[in-house]
Structure 1
């Protein structure tokens, strides 16, 4: 994970329970520190049987707490700026969530939680256990109860029949999340394919990373639903409603259905969709001789979307991307256009030079990382939504 300042100024008290997933916590602590946080680790007795105190001291660069002493750690840990203090329970077992929900405070971890809840400290819980235990109606009822007290949960990643501890990036996204609103963003991202025969297709080198960055920033901004249509070489966050799509025709169909059937507040289109159609051969094209492909221009996706919105009397802000050069002439429209000056940088890198237009008005020109671009675009989108 790259160094960033997402958690700069944050003080995190991290309770580590006896889930076998505790073996991953040194890496998570290091990732939290790389994001700018100061970490104090609390190990339960069962956690010390999985991960050693010395390892966690190395990871956090702070003394480890295993028991409450006369220093009253359950209180002193939350002294200072409480608005920038977070209690992170990672990983949390079935038993620990049950204790928290039942108001039991009979050990170090549960006493620290009880005090954090009573003093209004933001709390984030990261469950990890066997899937059968996670799906238990008792556990789910306890999660609902704790959410009612303002506790946030990071859903586990489901693999091999187990509810495994979530990746560091999603944990950090949840920690920095700014509230929870009812807005929905539709992100169309990734490469597209146009089939020329049953085994071959025309495509491009888009990685989908810009779409992933926009999804992460929308989640941090509090968006309630993030619909991601397309694909990516990068991991798509768990909180996205992911609709996998590769064929250009499928993009058009799924996007039209989403606009028609869902309440969308903002659309972002960093996808590299084909501007052409090709007549597909029903059989594999033989390779013994040359073949001429006729590429016919097709309707732009953004024009198709505006036609659908007009049909259903919708007015959804659109942020589109255009891969071009400095000869681009901005259009007189309501669209926000991000011009990607690909000629000035090689394709497929995280940093590039962009020009952002609101209709014909140039808002900015800057070389930046895609993460910064995503943050700027979500702020622009929020501003447009609020004006409407």
Structure 2
């Protein structure tokens, strides 16, 4: 996500500075090169040696005759983006007033003057975050094009955002945004049909592919709505889900369970969408659930009926909406997968179809074919990498 991106990491005197060592590691895991800049207050919480170790680079603790602020964040400077995490109320207010009395605020003024992208992740006590002057300062700095990563307000504190949220907003600020202004709906996960109050009929989808697509679209500038189904059976290390009612940093989440709920939620949000990526593994069958628990130890026959095809229903309701479909197969034969994908593409008038073998469900790696009307391209690698390819192709479609 951050391959080849140079991140200057500004650290200020919030107790959340203790998290910046792991944040630096995460930025580097995502491909970035990181150099740290610290205020004097931050050095009282985290020793510069810790960030030197985490970044494998010297840490700027004062501005000297080497004009480190210009070298890092000036015109043609080293940094592709200046990230301040955590940012105190004091620092935000100083940036809004162009006060340069710490290495971090001096780098911020320099970056803003040089049009270097700036991302700020505030962290402070909640009453400070709610102070009218702080809110006014945030609004003013945002009007200059600075991206703020909203804190998590918990236990009377405006806690620093998650590493995932910060990484996503850094990637969004540092890269091209061909999907800016577009509203992309992504479906993901499995659906689940009740057999009785305890048992369900579902499948093995983990939702990882759809969440990766949502991230990739957000990083490229889109507003994203994620219609998220349940997560199928996987080992506990892989089978984590998004808690009901939760939000994720790159999308607004609509949590659903059944195929009918998936269809209705998707149709509703597609009313304002510019594109749909239908990555969910929607069950093909449903049944009339027993109101009571079905007792074990007896022979049982269940009568199934088909569920509506989501992409066909959405196509009927939204005839001009660009739709990207997914087609999971088990044959392992590329020719058969392309043929099946093209049948779906033509039937529903899709932009393109991603055909993959069902064996990748739940894994971090994938192999897929991006099938267009006249060609097909094979991809093998991580789901994040495939998501980037899908988002790039979608941007071309929306042009």
TM-score under structure 1 length normalisation = 0.89
Given the alignment of the two structures, is residue 148 of structure 1 paired with residue 146 of structure 2, yes or no? no
Runs (4+) of structure 1 moved beyond 4 Å?
Answer: none
Residue 269 of structure 2 corresponds to 258
C-alpha distance in structure 2 between counterparts of 1:366 and 1:114, whole Å: 43
Distance in 1 (CA, whole Å) between partners of 2:63 and 2:151 is 29
Structure 1 pair 198/36, CA: closer, same or farther in 2 (3 Å)?
A: closer
The answer on 1:357 being equivalent to 2:371 is: yes
| Alignment partner of 1:82 is 2:77 | yes
Query: 1:257, 1:195 → 2: CA distance?
Result: 23
Question: 1:207-243 CA deviation, whole Å, 9 max, x = no partner?
Answer: 10001110111011111x1000114635673131111
Decide which of 3, 11, 14 is 1:16's aligned counterpart: 11
Corresponding residue number in structure 1 for 2:328: 323
Determine if contact 1:216/1:237 at 8 Å carries over to the other structure. no
Residue 124 (structure 1) shift? 1.1
**1:1-388 pair list within 5 angstroms:** 6-78=1-73, 81-82=76-77, 84-177=79-172, 178-179=176-177, 181-223=180-222, 225-231=223-229, 233=240, 237-260=248-271, 263-309=272-318, 314-324=319-329, 325=331, 326=333, 327-328=336-337, 329=339, 330-331=342-343, 332-333=346-347, 334-335=349-350, 336-342=352-358, 345=359, 347-359=361-373, 361-386=374-399
Q: CA deviation at 1:21?
A: 0.8
Tell me how large the CA RMSD over aligned residues is: 2.1
CA distance in 1, matches of 2:60, 2:388: 37
- Residue 205 of structure 1 aligns to a residue whose secondary structure is coil
Q: Retained in 1: the 8 A contact 2:72–2:79?
A: no
Q: Distance in 2 between matches of 1:8 and 1:354?
A: 22
**What SS does the corresponding residue of 1:82 show, helix, strand or coil?**
coil
CA contact (8 A) 1:209 1:234 kept: no
1:132-176 residue CA offsets vs partner (Å, 9 max, x unmatched): 332333222211211121212122234444322223333222222
Deviations 1:242-277 (A, max 9, x none): 1111222211221122223xx211101111111111
Q: 1:288 to 1:220 in 2, by over 3 A?
A: same
Shift of 1:67: 2.0
Can you list the C-alpha shifts for 1:79-125, whole angstroms capped at 9, x where unaligned? 68438532111110111101111222233322222222222222111
8 Å contact from structure 2 (residues 276, 322) kept in 1: yes
Query: Measured at CA, do residues 347 and 256 of structure 1 come closer, stay the same or move farther in structure 2, by a change above 3 Å?
Result: closer
Matches of 1:84 and 1:95 in 2, distance apart? 24
Q: Which moved more, 1:65-74 or 1:370-379?
A: 65-74
After TM superposition, the score normalised by the length of structure 2 is: 0.86
Distance 2:135 2:87 in 1: 14
- Relative to 1, partners in 2 of residues 1:135 and 1:363: Cα closer, same or farther, differing over 3 Å? farther
Shift of residue 367, structure 1, vs aligned partner: 2.3
Q: Say how many residue pairs are matched.
A: 371
Distance 1:318 1:158 in 2: 36
Question: Structure 1's 72 and 81: CA in aligned 2 closer, same or farther, altered over 3 A?
Answer: closer
Using the TM superposition, give the Cα deviation of residue 27 of structure 1 relative to its aligned residue in structure 2, in angstroms.
0.8
Secondary structure of 2:66's match? Answer: coil
- In structure 1, the residue corresponding to 2:378 is in which secondary structure? strand
> What is the rounded CA distance, in whole Å, between the counterparts of 2:75 and 2:134 in structure 1?
33
CA contact (8 A) 1:212 1:234 kept: no
> In 1, are the aligned partners of 2:17 and 2:45 still within 8 Å (CA)?
yes
Q: 1:29 to 1:349 in 2, by over 3 A?
A: same
Residues in 2 aligned to 1:34 and 1:346: alpha-carbon distance in whole angstroms: 23
Please, which runs of 5 or more residues in structure 1 have no aligned partner? 1-5
Unaligned runs of 5+ in 2: 232-239
- The SS at the match of 1:46 is helix
